[in-house]
Structure 1
Amino acid sequence: MAAQAQAGSVQMPRGFQDADEVLPTYHIEAQTSLVERPLRSLKFGEAFGVLDSYGDIGVQPGPEGLYFQDTRYLSRLEVTVEGQRPLMLSSVMQDDNGALSVDMTTPDIRLDAHDETSIPRETVAIERTKFLFRGTCYDRIGLRSYDAKHRRLRIAVTFDADYRDLFEVRGTNRTERGKRGVQVTSDREVQFRYVGLDEIVRTTAVHFGPTPDRIEPGRAEFDVSLPPGGRVSLFIRVVFESHRAFTKPPAADMVGEDAAARLTLAANGGGPVRHPKGLSEGTIFARAYRDQRRDQREMTAGITTIISSNDQFNEGLCRATADLYMLASRTPEGIYPFAGIPWYSTVFGRDGIITAMMALWIDAKFARGVLRYLAATQAKTVDPAADAQPGKVLHETRRGEMAMLGEVPFRHYYGTIDGTPLFAMLAWEYYAVSGDMETIRAVWPALELALAWMDRYGDRDGDGFVEYARDTDKGLENQGWKDSHDSIFHADGHLAKGPIALCEVQGYVYAAKHGIAKLARLLGDDVTADRLASEAEALRERFDAAFWNEELGTYALALDGAKKQCAVRSSNAGHALFTGIAKPERAARVAETLLCKDGFNGWGVRTIAQGEARYNPMSYHNGSIWPHDNALIAMGLARYDRKAEAARIFQGMFDTALYQDQKRLPELFCGFTRRRQRGPVSYPVACSPQAWAAAAPFAFLAACLGLELDHDRNRVRLNNPILPAFLDGVTLYNVRLGASRVDLRFQRHADDVTVSVVRRVGDVQVVMTK
């Protein structure tokens, strides 16, 4: 039986604390909390920005900066008026995340310390608009005088570029770095240049308009004249680029062989926009703003939208939608949702797949892009340094100097045990909604390789379970979604020794084989279909025998290398419901354990139940709460028609969002028990936005509605729909199935829900079952 502990305490037996004395590999160092002050995020393609609420960068220590290809291309940017920061009035991300809008005003200004010359506060309004588009950050600072006197103000811009690799920003120390230089290249431009040890030249060009009155490396000043009612606009344009330090251009085939390089041209539209000479910075800003808006409209055209009876829920859904499409980047294979800002703004296999699954019913093109990209970058050879074997799906890819040099193994890293079965699982889920057999045929060879990997390399000891163990000491110690060094442990708290078979991974393999069996049958291969279906059912029996723990009332977290259960109550068991590997007779017990007071804290289901040996509500994976994890659990509960429990989790997550900046669900938050008149406790270095957290509200809603889209039957099925207490009604607009479209309205009447078809285009059937 799991050791019992009071809420918030950590009870650990002697002897295993020593494992925690050294910081784990690739630890995100936290000397300041991202919760201390509101940060703002911008992203386009491979570029992203982390800004303070003023739109400035680096005024205080932290992760702020403009980043491109995992490198900080601008580490400082501060705008002052007569040497002082303006007074903040408001700072908001626009509803579609397209730009940051900041309203400020001048503070009380003493122009000369020796006399009484001064400008009272609130005489000049300052409006700042900032956005990213195609490898460039655009920044407009508009000033308008409401003073009766003519005023002259000195506006200074201080800036710098440190070219720190993202892993350095996260806390990794380096003994050697490349060479950095800076020069004033014209009366309105300063350029920073960094030649890395990887022989990549990275440049940051800072352009100003109009021409500054004074310019030097790291600083530009404007003497602004403002008559009564006068207006002035200043523009800052930051362009970041990289290229190899070749004496001649590289051969075309050199670009295509790098998995990460597949992103660059598509994600940034071929690189920064080249503007004709003679254009003013104001015109350049306006054209870029227009083109960025057009790009956003194209990306979101035709998606399913949702309007509910709850205005706050509507705001949260709008932010979640905006976050999903901001994090989406174009690749040659289609759009791919990058994992999160600031630490994971790149391709992650697992994150992209799960995000695509949860968003499948609102926009299937996420799944198409993920499938095609991961098929194109699938491992073809054995490479221990990258934890790669033929057929394995990419875990993450990085473009920074440390990755290019091998100082971290993530240039093309395959150290994930669940990405490959999830990839195969997504293929069937995508087809069921889209009917896109063209994509299935295109990725079919990759699906066959993925299945072969599961049986050959995934099952290391031939026992029928898929296990992991890293191939070198540079790889990740744990390779499931809970990949902290201490996240897989036994009931007494000792860390499990591998190879480790995770509970949820067996479920992914089960669902993958069932799904690919259905696709094989559609392709006319009944032999393969029968074999895979039989293997899936045999796995289900083995799984139940090996993982079920009657005393815990749930499935064990994992099996260690000796096939001993990690007898720990965890959220992982909820994924067994999500995939369908759990036997129906186990579902009620699993649900009860997940939703008991030790598992469910009032906001969500904890990753590890309170009372387990390594439970810590402030840990990354051992007691915290992750929205995407809870969404998958809710989908699993709905699969077994445990809708009331799914709605309870949905309610907790909605309540959580009400306390978050911009009503945005974060990557994770702490697992402390919910207390009256207090919100959830934030995690200090959580990403926000995070793709699978952004997709979670759509998964919660679909789970409660019992929404199933079946392309081949041309049917929308609603299996015993319910709505949580905070929703009286919901309307889904433009639910797509093949060439058909349908709008559905749900209305709650006490414990019952009625459904109306508001609009139907095509012959799609809508069926509700109880």
Structure 2
Amino acid sequence: MLQEVGDNALQHTPKPSAEPAPAARTSLQERRPRTLKHGDSFGLFGRAGDLDGQSGSPEGLFHLDTRYLSRLRVKLNGSTPVLLGSALSADNTTLTCDLTNTDAKDLARGQLHLRRSKFIWNAACHERFAIRNFSDAPQKVRIDIAFGADFADLFEVRGRSRPARGTTHPSQLTTDSVTISYTGLDAATRHTALRFAPAPEKIGPHEAVYLRTLAPGEQQVFFLSIGVGERVEASPVAADRAFHTALRDTRRRERHARARAATVETSHEVFNDALRRATADLNMLLTDKKGGPYPYAGIPWFSTAFGRDALITAWQALWFDPSIALGVLNFLAETQADHEDASNDAEPGKILHEMRDGEMARLKEVPYGRYYGSVDSTPLFVMLAGAYLDRTGDIAALRRLWPNIEAALGWIEHSGDRDGDGFVEYQRRTPQGLVNQGWKDSGDSIFHADGTLAEGPIALVEMQAYVYAAWLSASRIVRAMDDHPKADSFQQRAETLREHFDAAFWDEELGTYVLALDGQKQPCRVRSSNAGHALFAGIAKPERARRLVGTLMNAASFSGWGIRTLAVGEARYNPMSYHNGSVWPHDNAMIAEGFARYGFEAEAARLLEGLFAAAEHLDLHRLPELFCGFPRRNGGGPTPYPVACAPQAWAAVAPLSLLASCLGLGFEPERGRVLFQRPVLPGFLERVVLRNLRVQDAQLDVGLGRVQSQVGMAVLERRGDIHAMMTS
């Protein structure tokens, strides 16, 4: 994530010349907001469905990195209604809030029921209000809806100040609509159009009022549609009709997403709930692009296209929905850099880090309009291409993508290896860019044993692992295209790198690979989770695996909930920091895949058990972007990180990836075969059923269950030429 934070996450002091972290006053854990998303729009609502409009609040209705609605407050008979409860639907599409009246002179509390149901579809938030009178007498009811739009750029919401802003225009009113407009310094005019049905009794620039009389037991319904964007015009479709049409389309999209993916059922109902929420979170974050579905990174701070996040999310989702991987590969190929531009760290062949389309990005007040400051997106792109071929056998797609893969390999070989030593390093080229450009991109995340920050160019441990895997992926791809000499050449590049890497990065005294080499080729002798990615990518020599697994799973690194980003006792260890002692679910899922690769399935199962135990304590059983690295204690859950995104794409998919690692799940599309290699089940599971596993046009349902100390398998249903095989 693009986030610069110091050791004290609660203070969130931003580093100079870098993207500021969200301020502590915007703690998402205190607010526990409700999130909705579709396409390039998302909403962060209070639990009653409102937007508070307060200074420093992260709440709002956002579209393309601009907050189009910052205030939405509903009052019932002049008072803020009492919240009875609010809930997201199981598929994350709809937020429903139940409220009632406060005590009044002539009406006791709990006599009026107000239900708000809202969702987002095609750059509009649609809401239905239903008010019912449960008293035994007619009641006069007044509902006030106050609203406002500050058109703040997302980076302003996150805490960055601006010396100047654009102009907000006088609101345009009709009997049933209000349009608020703002022209930014980028000369673009943005509009927020609120439409009511039926028309309210009173309407003004900042408020609409409904005045109704309800008989005993009577219910009345009205609708609000809020369209946002640069081209919002008065629609001939009334708000009530727009609500029902959009809701139908929303449900149709969700059915399509469920139909194309495999599903999981287990013997543990809470785990099933967690998996359903994970799937719903992923589906909500998927954004339809020309080349297929693309997972936006997370809400609220990262609801846009990130390269690294999408690549890892697609990798971990590959077993149950390979269409995501193809969508990611297509989009990143389309946005691949084709020339040098120091202002955004672009170099030919380099894969995107982040795209933004807000006013500040357009004006280059931040460098992230199209930013290439991640060192690992490029090899991860090649890795995913190879993994997609392994999963699907879709050689036609790989032939079409080959020029982009070849350009990425060219970047690895030339621009990526800045000093020609065989390792890929990074060093930012713009003062506004990220100092650190691996997945731990905080300004203080790469350092030496004494705490001294490393100076670049920096060669990260996981980066070399990804490059190794990228050469092997490229070898498999060109071999499938019958270019065997080139395949042999790529494989040799990988083998040479492996030897070079082991000599430079393995530290026998620490029992792990060092975090990085600095610009002077001095090792950063620090125990970190980064080293586990050497197992994930396969660069670790087999004779190193047991020692490395032991280091990652000892008490200094493994909190009981998961492996910390940094081991206890290291100079910059802080369990409340963003990258120096916290626990990240996606990081653990990648390490677990590495454990299983090297035959440590039991340790992979421990990671799944730890993260599931954490999810049991968390709101909606949803794994967030990260949580604090304090040790696990009986009777309590993990300590939340105050501004962690939730949902976050690679956190959402983590439990599904962990389960696949425990089951040793693999595919041989050329043979129509699904493989289970040395499967294990964590202690809390007795059985697992995987449905709709697809290999090309065939489908398979498989059940796995505990049989004494072993795991047995049974094919439940087969559709087409497909088979399952288990090895022990």
Q: What TM-score do you get using the length of structure 1 for normalisation?
A: 0.91
Q: CA offsets, 1:250-294, max 9 Å, x none?
A: xxxxxxxxxxxxxxxxxxxxxx7985x3x5432221121112111
Among candidates 228, 232, 245, match of residue 240 of structure 1: 228
Q: What does 1:278-317 align with in structure 2 at a 5 Å threshold?
A: 279-317=237-275
Q: Structure 1 residue 726 and structure 2 residue 684: aligned?
A: yes
Secondary structure, in 3 states, of the residue corresponding to 2:260? coil
> What letter corresponds to residue 160 of structure 1 in structure 2?
G
Q: Given the alignment of the two structures, is residue 144 of structure 1 paired with residue 132 of structure 2, yes or no?
A: yes
Partner of 2:45: 51
Indicate if the aligned counterparts of 1:657 and 1:664 stay in contact, CA closer than 8 A: yes
Q: 2:104 corresponds to which letter in structure 1?
A: I
Q: Say which SS state the counterpart of residue 301 (structure 1) adopts.
A: helix
Q: Residue 96 in 1 paired to residue 84 in 2?
A: no
Aligned partner letter, 1:148:
D
Q: 1:36 aligns with which of 20, 24, 30?
A: 30
Q: Alignment partner of 2:137: what SS?
A: coil
Maintained 8 Å contact 2:340/2:347: yes
What pairs up with 1:402-551 in 2 under 5 angstroms? 402-551=360-509
Q: State how 1:733-752 maps to structure 2 within 5 Å.
A: 733-752=691-710
Name the CA distance, whole Å, in 2 between partners of 1:384 and 1:227. 68
- 1:528 Cα deviation from its structure 2 partner: 1.2
| 8 Å contact from structure 1 (residues 722, 751) kept in 2 | no
CA spacing shift, 1:349–1:20, aligned 2, 3 Å: closer
Corresponding position of 2:342: 384
Q: Which residue of 2 aligns with 1:562?
A: 520
Query: Aligned partners of 2:229 and 2:65: how far apart in 1?
Result: 12
Q: Distance in 2 between matches of 1:282 and 1:213?
A: 17
| 707-716 vs 41-50, greater mean Cα deviation | 707-716
- Offset from partner CA, 1:590-620 (integer Å, 9 cap, x none): 1000000000011000000010000000000
Q: Secondary structure at the match of 2:275?
A: helix
Q: Using the alignment, how far apart are the partners of 1:707 and 1:291 within structure 2?
A: 34
**RMSD across aligned positions (CA):** 1.5
- Is this contact kept in 2: 1:625–1:671, CA < 8 A? yes
- Asked whether the equivalents of residues 389 and 398 of structure 2 are also in contact (C-alpha less than 8 Å), the reply is yes
| Partner Cα separation in structure 2 for residue 620 and residue 274 of structure 1 | 45
Partner of 1:371: 329
User: Taking structure 1 as reference, are residues 52 and 581 closer, same or farther at Cα in structure 2, changes over 3 Å only?
Assistant: same
Shift of 1:107: 1.6
CA distance in 2, matches of 1:22, 1:131: 38
Q: Which residue of 2 is the match for residue 256 of structure 1?
A: none
Q: Give the SS at the match of 2:579.
A: coil
Question: 1:113 is matched with which residue?
Answer: none
Structure 2 CA distance, aligned partners of 1:287 and 1:762? 37
Deviation at 1:713, TM superposition (A): 2.8
CA distance in 1 between counterparts of 2:53 and 2:78 reads 13
Q: Provide the C-alpha distance between the structure 1 equivalents of 2:403 and 2:686, rounded to a whole number of angstroms.
A: 47
> How far did residue 20 of structure 1 move?
8.6
Quick one: which of 298, 302, 325 aligns to 1:344? 302
Instruction: Please name the residue that 1:222 is paired with.
Output: 210
Distance in 2, matches of 1:199 and 1:296, equals 37
The secondary structure found in structure 2 opposite 1:731 is strand
- Say which SS state the counterpart of residue 294 (structure 2) adopts: strand
Q: Hey, what's the Cα distance between the residues in 2 that align with 1:703 and 1:174? A: 47
Q: Distance in 2 between matches of 1:641 and 1:360?
A: 21
Stretch deviating more after TM superposition (53-62 or 425-434): 53-62
1:197 is matched with 185
| Partner AA of 1:292 in structure 2 | T
Q: Describe the superposition over 1:10-63 as per-residue Cα deviations: whole angstroms up to 9, x where unpaired.
A: 99xxxxxxx998695433222231111221000000000000111111255521
Question: Take 2:524 and 2:299, find their aligned partners in 1: how far apart are those partners?
Answer: 33
CA contact (8 A) 1:67 1:74 kept: yes
Q: Distance in 2 between matches of 1:666 and 1:417?
A: 24
Deviation at 1:94, TM superposition (A): 0.2
Q: 1:188 aligns with which of 168, 176, 191?
A: 176
Shift of 1:647: 0.6
Q: Deviations over 1:101-127 (max 9, x none)?
A: 1112112124xxxxxxx2111111111
Aligned to 1:108: 103
SS of aligned partner of 2:368: coil
Q: Are residue 760 (structure 1) and residue 704 (structure 2) matched?
A: no
Query: Separation in 2 of the partners of 1:191 and 1:38?
Result: 30
Secondary structure of the 2:222 match is strand
For each residue in 1:171-192, what CA deviation from the matched residue of structure 2 results, as whole angstroms up to 9, or x when unmatched? 0010011111231420111111
- The equivalent residue for 1:162 is 150
Q: Say whether the 8 Å CA contact 2:225–2:242 is kept in structure 1.
A: no
Q: Contact 1:56/1:77 (CA < 8 Å) preserved in 2?
A: yes
Deviation at 1:405, TM superposition (A): 0.4
Structure 1 unmatched ranges of 5 or more: 1-9, 12-18, 111-117, 244-271
Q: Deviations over 1:652-698 (max 9, x none)?
A: 00000001111000000000111121110000000000000011011
Q: Counterpart amino acid of 1:746?
A: L
Count matched residues: 717
Q: Specify the alignment match of 1:176 in structure 2.
A: 164
AA matched with 1:640: Y
Q: Deviations over 1:418-442 (max 9, x none)?
A: 0000000000100111111221111
Q: Is the 8 A contact 1:387 1:470 kept in 2?
A: yes
2: CA distance, partners of 1:219 / 1:592: 62
Runs of 5+ in structure 2 lacking a partner?
Answer: 1-6
**Partner SS state of residue 684, structure 1:** coil
The TM-score, its normalising length taken from structure 2, stands at 0.97
C-alpha separation between the residues in 1 aligned to 2:330 and 2:403? 11
Cα distance between partner residues in 2 of 1:231 and 1:31: 40
Kept in 2, the 8 Å contact 1:65–1:73? The answer is: yes
Q: Quick one: which of 177, 199, 223 aligns to 1:211?
A: 199
C-alpha offsets along residues 356-383 of structure 1, whole Å, 9 cap, x if unaligned? 0000011001000000000011000000
Whole-Å separation in 2 of the counterparts to 1:318 and 1:536: 39
Deviation at 1:235, TM superposition (A): 1.2
What is the aligned partner in structure 2 of residue 80 from structure 1? 75
- Paired residue secondary structure (1:641): coil
> Are the counterparts in 1 of residues 468 and 498 from structure 2 also a CA contact under 8 Å?
yes
The separation in 1 between residues aligned to 2:143 and 2:587, in whole angstroms, is 48
1:432/1:712 contact within 8 Å kept: no
Of 645, 656, 659, the match for 2:617: 659
Does the aligned pair in 2 maintain the 1:182–1:190 contact within 8 Å? no
| C-alpha distance after superposition, 1:61-82 (max 9, x if no partner) | 5210000000000000011102
Secondary structure of residue in 1 paired with 2:548: helix
1:29, 1:171 within 8 Å by CA — same for their partners in 2? yes
1:120 — aligned with what?
A: 108
2:4 maps to none
1:229-261: CA deviations, max 9, x gaps? 111112111000115xxxxxxxxxxxxxxxxxx
Change beyond 3 A, Cα 1:394–1:40: same
1:269 matched to which residue of 2? none
